[in-house]
Structure 1
């Protein structure tokens, strides 16, 4: 499951320009191929967590496999960006469950004392998926067909589903289906979904479809915020809320969730824009750009394992979280030093610095999050909520990134006088991503091409500045996290059930 989610999350970014060009998409629809997936994940993850806590993990897990498979097929047969985005939404509804339930189930079947080791083990398939993903995405889009990005998921789904059916044995929840359905916070889920959608949509189109000052941007954004505030107030009422208040009472939990939000914002925005940076600024092919970001992908997921095993060895986690945020903020901040003439050593080494921080913050904060849970019963729920916060951060980061990119690119490209007909369409920032594959071969003077590359560079450089600033906020919040004990052997009520039982 972890391999499948990490593979899918990283194959698309390098192929986005080729897909956009093939399906005659715009910059907005290109970004929405990722934003729609992330929005679906954000909306559905708390629902999976809540459902599985009440009716058990298996039925929600099987539903996630089914949705992800259907979404992969819809993506693969798409003949327009609208259908492709629909496929990505279905994939998100399934992938959100696979992502969160993989971590929740690990919390179910392990004690807090041994959990760091298992989080480290999960980094191995995660690393394999994230290293293979960009390369496969580039190979498919350049030499085969980008549609294989979706088809490749199906055999992996088949293997993972069979293994889950035959080898995942969790203790059942002894309660009638009627009682279980009655306990589910249906109204809370509906309010949460509505608030998330209303909040995210205007962030993605602000500066693209409509100005920031337009009522079409401001009205849904304000309504979305108000709905989310209403959801937060409502959650004190249900017996089994989507986000129980007790999970948030600890200062350690509050700061860890804030850090998880920022971490998701930084990680997923970088996965979107790093390949585009190398393709637009260094005129690399999709395959070459996937190789160029390997230092980042490899180090992120190597340090996901190293940091988790270090927690298990030292039995302390605060110093690792602090160091991780420093590496993240500094590493992403110095991306802004890259330009068209930067050396391979410079681009690779800066990625290593950022990767150390992002990998560390991936695996260490789940330990204090679960240690802060009121009981062992709540540790899986706490983990699920943390994953949801990480993906909510990803959604906001992708939306802000799309707005920043379009706004800065439009400003820079409009400052270039008299664009020839072959590149005049770049005056419309909605064409910027789809034009990237043609930038290498377009017949214009080297000086003009350098100016256009500079516009792409400046747009993404602004994104690096924003992410580095959020990384600094993450470091400050981490100073308030407490060093809680990990020496507990309590198990949740759905823990692993040996065959001898």
Structure 2
């Protein structure tokens, strides 16, 4: 019997499970993703309340930024850790950090405590997001992967839809801490389910050997470049000026870290976080770039549509969360259909091409949003976008995994998730910059400079204005939001255009046989995808 070892000395963790065990495993992974996305989206509706309670109104957005930066930073690292130490132990560790971070956040008594706790939860959330998809790709065939990955996408979509609702209700009816505390026991129960359902396939080598195999220099450089680039992008223009010494210094350090990371991954690392061979794979490169662009619009929609509903139309947080449900329901429907279509047709390309066509149409239709737009029109546009998102998110991941060797499955998944969340962080930074600049320059001249500054820091200042001035302020905010929506349209259209250059690959066609040398003819290992 020949040991199943893949490139770079990593053990192939492919496992096949009976249907009953596979369904239990699928349930555990879907619950983990559901809780992760509830946690990341519920914060959006409770930040004003938390900021007021902790005297941190001016900086409370860092509760979301800390989570997103930590989540993004550890996506690739946890993927490579799972190659060296095994999927199960890394996933359980991620769930533990996620639980710990939420418990600490609920007990926070000051802003620094809260931001640090959200960063801990973000590290765990990043591991959950990557490992859930990697483990699912380990236990099903490539052709079935589209179906099961798409069904995992249902957990992501439902978590994104339930999160804002849950946060708003708990913050208004009980206390904001419960938005964090309620996640912790549910995650602990999920850990028990994961312990008994995720197969434990031993990874060759002792502990010291595994430690030596990790790309620690690349990991440090990866963390450094992610944090030093995303922090100034997220805080620039609000927490500190773009031309401030701290922003410039962080960008410079980030640029140096990127250069160092590329050099280490290319010439030094034995088991690199990002193997250089992926850069020579056209499909993988295009899909990663496309996913980065998707992140810009996907996270931007989740963030800016509620701002439009609350600050322009004057809807409550709970109503704005309700109006986001069509986006989620549309995504759930086409995610399911897309998964089965990929399995039946053995192709992924038609699914995400149709998805990007629908998404581009829905994003373009969003330009009709005005201060007086009816809820029916808003719901119609969001449903169309949801149809498009659901058809693209998971099918592109399956094609990226299929485009490279099975040994790169974990790293491709981790880098793909990194691309999406880093795109989201950059998209939010660009969108916020556009919104604030247009909003402040469009405010009526009748407002004093003091009121203008207060509105820039806290939009709730509008409640102190008379009806005429308040209406003019909402018009100015609508002008800023419209420019953000305009920015999103060509980004999605570019994703659609890139599909032309992405090669479709049949999912279950075996590779061409390679004739063995005479000496090897008697013992040829079989590699099962």
TM-score calculated relative to the size of structure 2: 0.86
- Distance, in Å, in 2 between the alignment partners of 1:477 and 1:26 is 41
The one of 194, 197, 203 equivalent to 1:164 is 194
User: What is residue 154 of structure 2 aligned with on the other side?
Assistant: 124
By how many angstroms is 1:196 displaced? 1.1
- 5 Å matches for 1:176-215? 176-215=206-245
Equivalent residues of 1:282, 1:340 under 8 A apart = yes
- Distance, in Å, in 2 between the alignment partners of 1:76 and 1:37 is 14
User: What is residue 279 of structure 1 aligned with on the other side?
Assistant: 310
Q: Deviations over 1:209-266 (max 9, x none)?
A: 4443444433422431232132122201211001112233211111100111111221
- 5 Å matches for 1:481-492? 481-487=502-508
1:409 maps onto 2:439 in alignment:
yes
- Distance, in Å, in 1 between the alignment partners of 2:336 and 2:52 is 38
- Distance, in Å, in 2 between the alignment partners of 1:128 and 1:321 is 20
- Distance, in Å, in 2 between the alignment partners of 1:336 and 1:315 is 36
User: What is residue 80 of structure 1 aligned with on the other side?
Assistant: 110
- Distance, in Å, in 2 between the alignment partners of 1:305 and 1:77 is 38
- Distance, in Å, in 2 between the alignment partners of 1:114 and 1:89 is 35
- Distance, in Å, in 1 between the alignment partners of 2:274 and 2:438 is 37
User: What is residue 418 of structure 1 aligned with on the other side?
Assistant: 447
User: What is residue 427 of structure 1 aligned with on the other side?
Assistant: 453
Q: Deviations over 1:156-183 (max 9, x none)?
A: 1111100111221131112111111000
Equivalent residues of 2:290, 2:495 under 8 A apart = yes
The more displaced of 386-395 and 185-194 is 386-395
Q: Deviations over 1:100-134 (max 9, x none)?
A: 10001011111102111111321333343233222
Q: CA RMSD in A?
A: 2.4
- Distance, in Å, in 1 between the alignment partners of 2:269 and 2:92 is 27
Distance 1:443 1:235, change over 3 A: closer
Distance 1:21 1:456, change over 3 A: farther
By how many angstroms is 1:426 displaced? 4.7
Q: Number of matched residues?
A: 484
- Distance, in Å, in 2 between the alignment partners of 1:466 and 1:26 is 28
- Distance, in Å, in 2 between the alignment partners of 1:265 and 1:485 is 29
The one of 465, 477, 488 equivalent to 1:444 is 465
By how many angstroms is 1:429 displaced? 5.2
The one of 298, 308, 312 equivalent to 1:267 is 298
User: What is residue 348 of structure 1 aligned with on the other side?
Assistant: 379
The more displaced of 177-186 and 455-464 is 455-464
The one of 341, 362, 384 equivalent to 1:310 is 341
- Distance, in Å, in 2 between the alignment partners of 1:430 and 1:79 is 26
Higher relative contact order (CA closer than 8 Å, sequence separation 6+): 1
Equivalent residues of 2:299, 2:424 under 8 A apart = yes
Distance 1:17 1:329, change over 3 A: farther
Equivalent residues of 1:205, 1:403 under 8 A apart = no
Q: Deviations over 1:394-426 (max 9, x none)?
A: 22122223333333333233x442359xxx555
Equivalent residues of 1:108, 1:380 under 8 A apart = no
- Distance, in Å, in 1 between the alignment partners of 2:237 and 2:249 is 15
1:220 maps onto 2:241 in alignment:
no
Distance 1:455 1:83, change over 3 A: farther
- Distance, in Å, in 2 between the alignment partners of 1:448 and 1:59 is 58
Equivalent residues of 2:102, 2:118 under 8 A apart = yes
- Distance, in Å, in 2 between the alignment partners of 1:37 and 1:401 is 19
User: What is residue 296 of structure 1 aligned with on the other side?
Assistant: 327
Distance 1:83 1:412, change over 3 A: farther
- Distance, in Å, in 1 between the alignment partners of 2:500 and 2:68 is 29
- 5 Å matches for 1:455-466? 455-466=476-487
- Distance, in Å, in 2 between the alignment partners of 1:429 and 1:195 is 33
The more displaced of 284-293 and 302-311 is 302-311
1:399 maps onto 2:429 in alignment:
yes
Distance 1:469 1:211, change over 3 A: farther
- Distance, in Å, in 2 between the alignment partners of 1:351 and 1:3 is 21
Distance 1:354 1:447, change over 3 A: same
- Distance, in Å, in 2 between the alignment partners of 1:121 and 1:222 is 42
1:24 maps onto 2:55 in alignment:
yes
- Distance, in Å, in 1 between the alignment partners of 2:437 and 2:427 is 15
Could you tell me which runs of 5 or more consecutive residues in structure 2 were left unpaired when the two chains were aligned: 1-31, 512-525
The more displaced of 478-487 and 294-303 is 294-303
User: What is residue 27 of structure 2 aligned with on the other side?
Assistant: none
Equivalent residues of 2:228, 2:254 under 8 A apart = yes
Distance 1:172 1:258, change over 3 A: same
Q: Deviations over 1:445-490 (max 9, x none)?
A: 3221111212322222222222222212222222211011200589
User: What is residue 325 of structure 1 aligned with on the other side?
Assistant: 356
SS in 2 for 1:479: helix
